[in-house]
Structure 1
Amino acid sequence: MYRLGGIILVVILSITLQNCGEDEKKEVKEIEKIVEIAAAEPEYFLLRPEVEKAYGYSHAVKIGNNIKVSGAVSMDDGGNPTAMGDLEQQMKNCYADLEEILTHFGCTFDDVVVENIFTTDMKKMLEVAAYRNELYKNHYPTGTWVEVKGLALPEFMIEIELEVHHSGERVSLRDD
């Protein structure tokens, strides 16, 4: 008799637990239906509007907390190559443009998660790469360095593209 009662109790408990699990699943599905994530509208940024319109690209696009930055090359505001034959100066010019884009979006090089570098002279690039230590003070992003036969114009020796993740507000530790 006790055995039969124990079996009945086990059956009742398992049915009750199954029903509880189903109720929880229903609640989760209800909550999933209620939560809607608004799609972020892309924000386009043109560093040199006339040049970028002529070549048909945007220098950066921000969607949500993520920013894709087109490859920066060493050029003036008219789209003319600068620092011809000087890879180190071209690299510094690229990073100056990239910093201007990051600043526009309220970011720094600390927000960069991917940095891809394309160069026509990897040997020289490796000789001047230490300059990056001045930019990436806390950590380095992931990335790829590739030696290529040529870039958009024959005078360009380096092109640097970025992917950025900006998680939001910054806390200043300074007493300004």
Structure 2
Amino acid sequence: MKFSNSIHFGIATLLIAISVSSCDLPQNDVAKNEKNKTETQVEKHSEKPEYFLLRPEVEKAYGYSHAVKIGNSIKISGAVSMDDEGNPTAVGDLEQQMKNCYADLQKVLAHYGCTFDDVVVENVFTTDMSKFLTAAAYRTEIYKNHFPTGSWLGVTELAIPEFMIEIELEVHKTDL
């Protein structure tokens, strides 16, 4: 009986040793992955922001940058329907203002080698939600493969009274 118990004890000890040693390998891999992940995060957080001005004089006068790229992400300020001097265009025509916004946003995306397929967040601010909802189908011409996340917000006013819509974007692209 003692011999049998010794064998069982020996087998149990061997199994425990194998289990413990096999658990060590994935934990070491996890530790290495966590270390690499932390190093990568530090690299990304230490990257210098790159600013882009679509209409430099207008943006300097109002005190904003149209876009800022940090690492693989780009934040794009709200686009409104304006000319190169900052004057409102398509006054009273929300659908045309929306199209003008997307035309400007496309220019910013192109500057960074991106398309609307790279957009992950789109926030729309409008002073007339019912007109926007009527015109929103136009977005299917912009987002051909998928829609981004985002919000549609009705607001009482935008920066200039003639503006009826403002659209801001966030972009993420792994190979920026």
Question: What is the TM-score normalised by the length of structure 2?
Answer: 0.84
Matches within 5 A, 1:112-127: 112-127=119-134
Identity across aligned pairs (percent)? Answer: 63
Specify whether residues 23 and 139 from structure 1 end up closer, same or farther in structure 2 by C-alpha distance, changes over 3 A only. Answer: closer
Specify whether residues 29 and 51 from structure 1 end up closer, same or farther in structure 2 by C-alpha distance, changes over 3 A only. Answer: same
Who is 1:173 aligned against? Answer: none
Counterpart check, 1:87 vs 2:86: no
What letter corresponds to residue 65 of structure 2 in structure 1? S
How many pairs are equivalent?
A: 169
Which consecutive aligned stretches of 4+ in structure 1 deviate over 6 angstroms post-superposition?
Answer: none
Among candidates 105, 112, 135, match of residue 112 of structure 2: 105
What letter corresponds to residue 48 of structure 1 in structure 2? R
CA distance in 2 between partners of 1:115 and 1:30 (Å): 36
Larger mean Cα displacement after TM superposition, 40-49 or 145-154: 40-49
How far 1:5 moved relative to its partner? 2.1
Among candidates 21, 24, 42, match of residue 23 of structure 2: 21
Unaligned runs of 5+ in 2: none
Specify whether residues 112 and 18 from structure 1 end up closer, same or farther in structure 2 by C-alpha distance, changes over 3 A only. Answer: same
Among candidates 116, 124, 137, match of residue 130 of structure 1: 137
Instruction: Provide the aligned C-alpha RMSD in A.
Output: 2.2
Deviation string for 1:120-141 (max 9, x for gaps)?
1111112222222221112222
Who is 2:61 aligned against? Answer: 54
Who is 1:2 aligned against? Answer: 4
CA distance in 1 between partners of 2:170 and 2:22 (Å): 45
Answer 1 or 2: which has greater helix percent.
2
Matches within 5 A, 1:59-78: 59-78=66-85
CA distance in 1 between partners of 2:18 and 2:142 (Å): 61
CA distance in 2 between partners of 1:139 and 1:66 (Å): 18
Larger mean Cα displacement after TM superposition, 100-109 or 75-84: 75-84
Deviation string for 1:75-109 (max 9, x for gaps)?
11121211211111111111110000011111111
Specify whether residues 31 and 100 from structure 1 end up closer, same or farther in structure 2 by C-alpha distance, changes over 3 A only. Answer: closer
Among candidates 129, 142, 155, match of residue 148 of structure 1: 155
CA distance in 2 between partners of 1:110 and 1:27 (Å): 35
Specify whether residues 30 and 49 from structure 1 end up closer, same or farther in structure 2 by C-alpha distance, changes over 3 A only. Answer: same
CA distance in 2 between partners of 1:34 and 1:140 (Å): 32
